Amino acid sequence: MEKIITLDYGSGGKKTSSLIENYIVPAFRNDALAQLGDGAILAGHERLVFSTDSFVVSPYVFPGGDIGKLAVCGTVNDIAVSGGDPKYLSLALIIEEGFPENDLARIIESASKAAENAGVQVVTGDTKVVERGRGDGIYINTSGIGFLAHAGLSPENIREGDTVLVSGNVGDHGAAVMLARNKNLVEGEILSDCADISGLAKALRPLGRDLRVMRDPTRGGVATTLCEFVEDRSAGSTAAQNPENAGAAQRIKNAPCGIELFEKEIPVSPMVAAACDILGLDPLYCANEGKLLAVVAKERAGEALALLRGTPGGENAAVIGTVTKAHPGKVTVQTPYGGSRILTKLAGAQLPRIC
């Protein structure tokens, strides 16, 4: 049977990783790509940070935002969590024939506002139109350039005893989009958390090297992002196959660790918890589009929490876990009843086209 691409290749979970590791990284072998960060840090060039993301969210207007705002915030956030100050964006549209001009105007307006609020300029763009039935309204790619302000952030810095923080309630975007697709399932409205988190990322800069790594847990949610933090890349990874790759050598230095989450400390809004119950989703696997996940040195955890809580959008920040050597490479969550379960990277296509 011919192997084909299925929806779960786009879930941000296991299949996406396998596609990237089997096809993309080997084909384009280089240090910047092999880091597999949200943004590539281009050594030696005024410390550039470069990132790209295509947005195919359905529906393209959802409670709390639309694909225009999402496309700007998404790339701004990828640069911010890479330690960069986002500065320039590109904006490329793939529009389906028959798309209402009014919707286009609304989306552009909302992208424009988001860019202004984030202090970034959209400096280049592209527009393509495909026939009816060859798209779904509108898809948007944004790529972004930023300048590195906080160097050295990487999962390879994580060590035993470190503390895991999240900047606020988990799962809002995923739940909002799923409810927008399944109207009348739950009373009331859940808003996407779609927002620029560069302020939150910047707030943690005083931590210096005690800030190990940051990421915005989008597709695959908090669970998948944390799995990526601790997965053992020493076996079979492109980076490790290349002995000249200093990054790979350094990454292995502090491995292997695991992460232990405390379920009762993870902030989830009651509405999102209820919606996830009904939809059969786990908030830990639901996409976030305005949350920051950070690992910091234990001694600075209190300071980090205060810095996040003192920044707009971080009022509900929480310490949610700790780095352990008890189960290297694994993420577990302690339930309030004393039990514990293992979180793996998202398998299957739980939430296709969530962003």
User: According to CB under 8 A, which residues from 83 to 122 bind its own copies?
Assistant: 87-88, 90-102, 104-105, 108-109, 111-112, 115, 121-122
Q: Sheet holding 138-148: strands in order across?
A: 40-42, 48-55, 138-148, 84-96, 121-130
> Which residue, 5 or 235, is less far from its own copies as judged by CB?
5
| Listed residue (237, 202, 291) closest to 35, CA to CA | 237
Side chain identity, residue 71: A
> Which residue, 109 or 189, is less far from its own copies as judged by CB?
109
Least distance to its own copies, CB of residue 36, Å: 9
x/- map, 216-255, its own copies, by CB under 8 A: ----------------------------------------
Least distance to its own copies, CB of residue 219, Å: 9
**Beta strands 293-296 and 211-215: pairing type?**
antiparallel
Phi, psi (degrees; rounded to nearest 5) at 260: -115, 120
What is d(CA 270, CA 263) in angstroms, rounded to the nearest whole number?
A: 14
* Residue 81 CB-half CA count within 13 A: 30
Q: Interface with its own copies by CB under 8 A: which range of 135-143, 221-229, 252-260, 265-273?
A: 135-143
User: Which of 128, 205, 264, 325 forms a contact with its own copies (CB under 8 A)?
Assistant: 128
CA dihedral (75, 79, 80, 81) in degrees, to 10, reads 100
Phi, psi (degrees; rounded to nearest 5) at 319: -80, 125
* 20 counts as binding its own copies under rule CB under 8 A: yes
Q: Which of residues 184-213 bind its own copies (CB under 8 A)?
A: none
User: Which of 83, 118, 143, 293 forms a contact with its own copies (CB under 8 A)?
Assistant: 143
Q: Interface with its own copies by CB under 8 A: which range of 195-203, 231-239, 247-255, 346-354?
A: 346-354
Least distance to its own copies, CB of residue 112, Å: 4
What is d(CA 7, CA 56) in angstroms, rounded to the nearest whole number?
A: 13
Q: Which of residues 53-82 bind its own copies (CB under 8 A)?
A: 53-56
